[in-house]
Structure 1
Amino acid sequence: MSSYDQLYPNCDPDVWLRSCELEVEKPIEGEITGEMPSWLRGTLLRNGPGSLKVGSTRFEHLFDSASLLHRFAIQDGIVTYQCRFLRSNTFNKNRAANRIVVTEFGTKAVPDPCHTIFDRLAAVFNPGEAMSDNAMISIYPFGDEIYAFTETPVIHRIDPITLDTLERKNLADSIAIVNHTAHPHVMPNGDVYNVGMSLVKCRIRHVVVKFPFNEKGDMFQRAHIVGHMKPRWELHPAYMHTFGITENYFVIVEQPLSVSLLGVVKNQLADAPLINSLKWNPEHETQIVLISRKTGEEVKRYRTETLFYLHIINTFEQDGKLVVDLCAYKDAKALDAMYIQSIETMQSNANYADWFRGRPKRIEILLDAPQFTHFDATVLVDYGCETPRIHYDLYNGRPYRYFYAISSEVDVSPGSLIKVDTMTGEVKTWSNVNCYPSEPIFVPAPNAKEEDEGVLLSALVWGSNRQRAVALLVLDARSMREVARAEFITPSPAPKCLHGWFLPERA
């Protein structure tokens, strides 16, 4: 199809359809343009879809692609790059069989004649071991250990220098959960919180789990439930990818996208994809549930419009209000847009851009309002954005002004990085032709006095004419002007990544 026939000529779907064929185990040095800040020293780790192919079979959804870890090491103005596949059980099984043998979020495995109905029935009671452990969403630190995450209870410890997969950990062995979000919260003192689903007194509950920081011990051994709430629909709990935290509350946004527990069991028995268990309920509003950080009990519920979301930008309390900022969509079609067939045919799909037509919205809740009071969700800026980040260390759960994101406007500016001033509504952007940045991560300058005093780090890939090019971009966070970049040529195609974490070099 020529560019004249394309509905979205500024968007190249190839960046999501690539499969890395050769890992970069030994660090390669990048070609620097501009000048790296002398104070910028550390490691940017990234995670995301790495390969859609296993032998002659192919995954059907982007969330199923084999996890590929990336490492950009910055020191003394020099930047190096590596990438390695996460050696999950799923990855190893698929590679050994040279075909897809583990059913994923959106892909049914090739039938295994040795896998009986009794095996699948037993697997229902052990989801951490039965489901795919392909942790290709995010990366988070637990103390001085680094883990790759997805939404099943299995996480993988990785070596932040070599990207080796060191350990597979099923959190269900430490705490009674059957899943968790892919985005826990790391607190300034090192404690980690996450929201999961658990069976409490024979009933399904959303629970908040605390992993207390411990310099000398295992944070997982000390994990315990510190909050809980009853799902709006007990057999159809809401799908959750992120949650919020403030000074006094855990903030749970119960959207109308639900997970049928009966459907999960049926799909497990039929070896069918998990996405078949999801149901969009447009007749229901979204609920915001507050759980007390002091007592662990549900405090109150509020209502807002029907919306779908993946990522919360920030939540905080101020002047008797609770503020919830998130990237909101009118429905859950964004998940359909990530089917591989949808991506391949996007240029002839007039509805595709609308599927991703999200907006950053703010919900301001009066904390003394009665239970189930409705509060409108207002648009912060008329600009589509996703994978939002803030000055996390100092402003997570606190009043803040700026957030950074990538554009989700498929038909306008899909290769833009965005800075939003939530106070004035001003938007600053950065973009290059045919260039596709990843989630921007804010790194504060030493002794920074202002919220946006620092740099943004983003991994870049290019469209189909530069499949093997990857770069680390450094932007001035105040002006969104390019400070420096390090460019690399990889031995095989470089796919676009999702989420990551910056580990500053410690003195």
Structure 2
Amino acid sequence: MAEFKTKFYPNCDSNVWLRSCEVEVTDPIDGLITGEFPAWLQGTLLRNGPGSLKVGSMRFEHLFDSSALLHRFALRDGRVTYQCRFLRSNTYKRNHAANRIVVAEFGTAAVPDPCRTIFHRIAALFKPGESISDNAMISVYPFGDEIYAFTEGPVIHRIDPLTLATMERKNLSESIALLHHTSHPHVMSNGDVYNVGMSVVRGRLLHVVAKFPFSENGDMFAEARVVASLKPRWMINPAYMHTFGITEKYFVILEQPLSVSLVGLVWSQLTDQPLSSSLDWYPEEETHIVLLGRESGKEERRYRTEPLFFLHIINCFERDGRVVVDVCAYRDAKVIDAMYIHAIESMQSNADYAEWFRGRPKRLEMSLAAPPLTRVEPKLLADLGCETPRIHYDLHNGRPYRYFYAISSDVDAENPGSIIKVDTVTGETKSWWEKDCYPSEPVFVPSPQAKAEDDGVVLSALVSGADARAVSLLLLDARGLRERARAHFRTPSPAPKCLHGWFLPRRP
């Protein structure tokens, strides 16, 4: 008699995260349209994310290590086309030339290279852009009229928004001495770009805010400069940061209890061990919220709150003498462990797995008149899973807002593949879901001459649990999250689930 195995999360198909694309789609394929894409919606949705877990007979051990795969959905005159292509990073080229994993990743050790002596390894420590993986598989952002793929290392890659070809490799440590930076810079309404990273300034390690001034004809990277800095709370264990916030007057830095051991980082570099081995979680330490003045460039306010882990900030803004920070918060950093491949494969027999992914949208509200290190109690915005949040970015980034969109992080929900909308004023929530369907980050696109904050549409790339070669572009009405249209595609090989992206409106 066959052994009966109970599934803790029968409605969640984790295999959507374990797929590897085997055939790129370089020539656009037309989608089968249901419903109607509005005539005004003209442009390109670019996506980035894990593309392949395999190199020869070897396999990556963490989702963040998967070879970067770029996706392109082009919308024009009611038609939608799809393409996908691997990012040709140096890491990708080296791995495929050797037919094995020869560059250590976030969660995967590299095969020892007999030609790489200890002297080569030590020398590489002084070239951070060359010593760590440049597999930029997290996000894509515009710098002026150029598009770049990002991860947390100092190297970014320029991509062609029409063909997805990898065009240029740029090492930011050569222009502004960043050892690393977040995967989510802020693109301001005037085109300026800000990002937070680590840098050595006069022999001291600092968190720094770098500004890349917008230029139509010049080089935004050549004009880059540090505009604010912060001494880490723990000098040899600086806090890990995936995102940061910005308001009219402040840069918002969350120093969480997940830290990067510099000693561990050096050791991992010397021994080809995964970068995750240098991360330490300190549950007894509180999270600090630090406000750096955008004019002064210095720390102006510091607050504390309960220990929490975060990857993504929803939005930050100032109102009535207070600074508000909305964040997708977790009790601890176990969500990183949940993204190891063995953890994904065994999730159905892990009764704790859902709690590892139990992210919730929370609000931190700080009075600018409060004494230093005032403790702030988080307020729950909605009791549902929350990840990859997006807002009406062009008008409300760093300003008061009302609505955000996200995907559910509750793997034990009745419908784990949900898109959610949260009204931060009333607490009302809306959701869209379809059985065995898994959406990616929902991207809001405003209607022409929109009068209301949620007057527009939401775009999301979908994959199917039942059909590994099915990918779709979903169009929802942003107000009620009702489906208006969908473009269906049949890919020549498995279609992996993507992470983050950017919508580029078509220029007149």
Map 1:201-280; keep pairs closer than 5 Å.
Answer: 201-280=202-281
Question: Would you say the 8 A contact 2:94–2:102 is kept in 1?
Answer: yes
**Structure 1 pair 211–304 and aligned structure 2 pair: CA distance change class (3 A):** same
Q: Distance in 2 between the 1:151 and 1:28 partners?
A: 32
* 1:440 correspondence with 2:458: no
Partner of 1:455: 457
Map 1:179-194; keep pairs closer than 5 Å.
Answer: 179-194=180-195
* Structure 1 residue 4 displacement after superposition: 6.8
| Matching residue's letter, 1:321 | R
Q: Distance in 2 between the 1:399 and 1:4 partners?
A: 49
Partner of 1:23: 24
Partner of 1:44: 45
Question: Would you say the 8 A contact 2:128–2:173 is kept in 1?
Answer: no
Q: Distance in 1 between the 2:4 and 2:333 partners?
A: 29
* 1:403 correspondence with 2:422: no
* Structure 1 residue 123 displacement after superposition: 1.1
What SS class does the counterpart of residue 427 from structure 2 fall into? Answer: coil
Map 1:312-327; keep pairs closer than 5 Å.
Answer: 312-327=313-328
* Structure 1 residue 200 displacement after superposition: 1.1
Partner of 1:99: 100
What SS class does the counterpart of residue 216 from structure 1 fall into? Answer: coil
User: CA offsets per residue over residues 399-446 of structure 1, 9 Å max, x none?
Assistant: 000000000000003200000000010110000010000000000000
Q: Distance in 1 between the 2:339 and 2:122 partners?
A: 30
| Matching residue's letter, 1:139 | V
| Matching residue's letter, 2:244 | F
Question: Would you say the 8 A contact 1:140–1:149 is kept in 2?
Answer: yes
| Matching residue's letter, 1:456 | V
User: CA offsets per residue over residues 194-238 of structure 1, 9 Å max, x none?
Assistant: 000000111110000000000011100000000001100010000
Q: Distance in 2 between the 1:174 and 1:334 partners?
A: 34
Q: Distance in 2 between the 1:447 and 1:4 partners?
A: 55
Gaps of 5+ in 1: none
Question: Would you say the 8 A contact 1:101–1:111 is kept in 2?
Answer: yes
User: CA offsets per residue over residues 121-160 of structure 1, 9 Å max, x none?
Assistant: 1111111101000000000000000000000000000000
Partner of 2:369: 368
**Structure 1 pair 343–176 and aligned structure 2 pair: CA distance change class (3 A):** same
**Structure 1 pair 69–3 and aligned structure 2 pair: CA distance change class (3 A):** farther
Partner of 2:109: 108
* Structure 1 residue 49 displacement after superposition: 0.1
Q: Distance in 1 between the 2:386 and 2:3 partners?
A: 28
**Structure 1 pair 108–396 and aligned structure 2 pair: CA distance change class (3 A):** same
Partner of 2:197: 196
Q: Distance in 2 between the 1:228 and 1:368 partners?
A: 22
What SS class does the counterpart of residue 122 from structure 1 fall into? Answer: helix
Q: Distance in 2 between the 1:123 and 1:301 partners?
A: 36
What SS class does the counterpart of residue 94 from structure 1 fall into? Answer: helix
What SS class does the counterpart of residue 183 from structure 1 fall into? Answer: coil
Partner of 1:59: 60
Q: Distance in 2 between the 1:325 and 1:3 partners?
A: 43
* Structure 1 residue 271 displacement after superposition: 1.2
Number of aligned residue pairs: give it. 506
1:416 to 418, 422, 427: 418
What SS class does the counterpart of residue 429 from structure 1 fall into? Answer: strand
What SS class does the counterpart of residue 5 from structure 1 fall into? Answer: coil
Q: Distance in 1 between the 2:170 and 2:143 partners?
A: 12
Question: Would you say the 8 A contact 1:324–1:364 is kept in 2?
Answer: yes
Question: Would you say the 8 A contact 2:288–2:303 is kept in 1?
Answer: yes
Partner of 1:154: 155
Question: Would you say the 8 A contact 2:418–2:438 is kept in 1?
Answer: yes
Question: Would you say the 8 A contact 2:444–2:458 is kept in 1?
Answer: yes
Q: Distance in 2 between the 1:414 and 1:191 partners?
A: 37
* Structure 1 residue 300 displacement after superposition: 1.6
| Matching residue's letter, 1:420 | V
User: CA offsets per residue over residues 290-318 of structure 1, 9 Å max, x none?
Assistant: 10001101112100110000000000000
Q: Distance in 2 between the 1:447 and 1:342 partners?
A: 47
* Structure 1 residue 5 displacement after superposition: 2.3
* Structure 1 residue 113 displacement after superposition: 1.1
| Matching residue's letter, 1:264 | L
* 1:394 correspondence with 2:395: yes
What SS class does the counterpart of residue 375 from structure 2 fall into? Answer: coil
Q: Distance in 1 between the 2:103 and 2:454 partners?
A: 44
What SS class does the counterpart of residue 197 from structure 1 fall into? Answer: strand
What SS class does the counterpart of residue 418 from structure 1 fall into? Answer: strand
What SS class does the counterpart of residue 90 from structure 1 fall into? Answer: helix
Q: Distance in 1 between the 2:205 and 2:105 partners?
A: 23
Partner of 2:121: 120
| Matching residue's letter, 1:358 | G
Q: Distance in 1 between the 2:5 and 2:459 partners?
A: 34
| Matching residue's letter, 2:20 | S
Q: Distance in 1 between the 2:369 and 2:263 partners?
A: 37
* Structure 1 residue 110 displacement after superposition: 1.1
Q: Distance in 2 between the 1:485 and 1:267 partners?
A: 45
Question: Would you say the 8 A contact 2:250–2:291 is kept in 1?
Answer: yes
Superposed CA RMSD in Å reads 1.0
Question: Would you say the 8 A contact 2:463–2:472 is kept in 1?
Answer: yes
| Matching residue's letter, 1:93 | R
User: CA offsets per residue over residues 321-378 of structure 1, 9 Å max, x none?
Assistant: 1000000000000000000000000000000000001110000100110110101011
TM-score, normalisation: structure 1: 0.99
Q: Distance in 2 between the 1:2 and 1:17 partners?
A: 25
| Matching residue's letter, 1:390 | I
Q: Distance in 1 between the 2:117 and 2:488 partners?
A: 50
TM-score, normalisation: structure 2: 0.99
Map 1:295-314; keep pairs closer than 5 Å.
Answer: 295-314=296-315
**Structure 1 pair 7–248 and aligned structure 2 pair: CA distance change class (3 A):** same
| Matching residue's letter, 2:45 | L
Question: Would you say the 8 A contact 1:3–1:9 is kept in 2?
Answer: no
* Structure 1 residue 3 displacement after superposition: 9.9
Question: Would you say the 8 A contact 1:120–1:271 is kept in 2?
Answer: no
Partner of 1:290: 291
Partner of 2:12: 11
**Structure 1 pair 206–3 and aligned structure 2 pair: CA distance change class (3 A):** farther
| Matching residue's letter, 1:14 | N
User: CA offsets per residue over residues 66-86 of structure 1, 9 Å max, x none?
Assistant: 000000000000000000000
**Structure 1 pair 299–493 and aligned structure 2 pair: CA distance change class (3 A):** same
| Matching residue's letter, 2:343 | S
Question: Would you say the 8 A contact 2:37–2:485 is kept in 1?
Answer: yes
